[in-house]
Structure 1
Amino acid sequence: MSFSRGRSSGDSCFIYYTLHMSSGWSRLIFAVLIAVSLASVRCGDDPPDKEMEQARGAIAAARAAGADEYAHEEIAAAEQALRGAHDAVEQRDYRLALNNALESRERAQNAAKEAADQKAASRVAAERAMTEVAGALVQARARLKAADAAHASARQLDELRDQIHDAEESLQKARAVVARGDYRDVAKGLNETIAALTASTRELDSATGAARRRR
């Protein structure tokens, strides 16, 4: 006696339902994949106008922060990347254009930060150098007065007077430049002034000491 009578109607309904649901999920997944693909295509078909505009704004902000003087290489790289973005747009390679625009924006932001840091460091160095020059001038004037009282040679006295005069002018110019917010080369110039003034002062001290010993 056989109990196998084939599939029942319930089994058939279950199989149909399963196949129907599987087919539905397949169609849904396929539709999602198509949508993602179309979105990717659309993104690749549009020039990155927003990102390029952001890059231009970042470059302008970096320049305003002094990047041309304090972060020249980084701002130049930002400008080059932006030009690359424009070139890629002309070639309709919008993905490359987007990459270049993003790089340009990042480089410009880095340039702005570097410029701010370097400008702050230059200001500190300039202020320190101005203080050192002022101190060196006080010492030089005192040495000049002492050497004059000790009857040092006129030539050596005149040399130190000239160095003092030059240092005073350099300090005055440095203060004016710093007041305008330009600190870049101030410290370098004043350090040279300090070196020249110190050398003249030491030379006069040596000559004065030798003259005293001869007496």
Structure 2
Amino acid sequence: MRRLLLILPVILTAACSEPPQKELNQAQGAIDAARAAGAEQYAKDEYSAAASSLQKAHDAVDQRDYRQALSYALDARERAQDAARAAADGKAAARSKAESSIIALSSEVKRLDAKIKAAEAARVAPRDLHGARAAEQDARNALQEAGTSLAKGDYKAAGDAVAGQTGRIDAAIKALDTAPARVVRRKR
């Protein structure tokens, strides 16, 4: 038993006499996987924490504190895996938000189009229709840009493309509602 107690510290010291290269490589691989999953964009905090832990592990290796390096490398791997999971969740949420924004804007464009047609039938002056038509065209362009971004998987750009368009359409609809219709004079 005494012999075991004397040998145990020697074994533990020998076990930590080399850098934990395997764990460092695993942590780096997990960070690369998290980056590929979009963690830099959708899980910034978790990704930064993982990268920071990996850097601390490398610093500990430079100081020859291999036990601490092992601890940081394991922490970095775990944090990177958490970042990858959070990125998947964040990406799904961003996609859902972008899709709902696109659907909402699309219905607003249809509503504006109906108002424009009604205003044309009521013979509203063309200068009063100009702003509404411009807002409608801008919204259609934004929808097209958002659709392209959505197809590429860039959900943030898709959401940004349609942001603010609904307010502009609402303003155009209000302007049409208050635009006076022309009175048609009939000759007698």
**2:129 is the alignment partner of 1:157:** yes
Map 1:5-20; keep pairs closer than 5 Å: none
- Residue 35 of structure 1, CA deviation: 3.1
Contact 2:54 2:72 in 1 (8 A): yes
What residue in structure 2 maps to residue 176 of structure 1? 148
Contact 2:108 2:169 in 1 (8 A): yes
Q: Tell me the SS of whatever aligns to 2:164.
A: helix
Question: 1:60 aligned to 28, 32, 45, which one?
Answer: 32
- Residue 206 of structure 1, CA deviation: 2.5
What residue in structure 2 maps to residue 40 of structure 1? 12
Identity of aligned residues (%): 42
The CA distance in 2 between the partners of 1:108 and 1:164, in whole Å, is 44
Q: Deviations over 1:172-205 (max 9, x none)?
A: 0000000011102422442411121122112211
- How many residues were matched structurally? 184
**2:85 is the alignment partner of 1:110:** no
Q: Mind listing any 5+ residue stretches in structure 1 that lack a counterpart?
A: 1-28
Contact 1:119 1:184 in 2 (8 A): no
The CA distance in 2 between the partners of 1:45 and 1:200, in whole Å, is 72
What residue in structure 1 maps to residue 69 of structure 2? 97
TM-score, with length taken from structure 1 = 0.80
Question: Which 4+ residue blocks in structure 1 deviate beyond 6 angstroms?
Answer: none
TM-score, with length taken from structure 2 = 0.91
- Residue 34 of structure 1, CA deviation: 2.3
Q: Is the radius of gyration larger for structure 1 or structure 2?
A: 1
What residue in structure 2 maps to residue 80 of structure 1? 52
Q: Tell me the SS of whatever aligns to 2:153.
A: coil
The CA distance in 2 between the partners of 1:147 and 1:100, in whole Å, is 67
Paired residue type of 1:69: Q
Paired residue type of 1:30: R
Give the root-mean-square deviation of aligned CA atoms: 1.9
The CA distance in 2 between the partners of 1:196 and 1:35, in whole Å, is 77
Paired residue type of 2:139: A
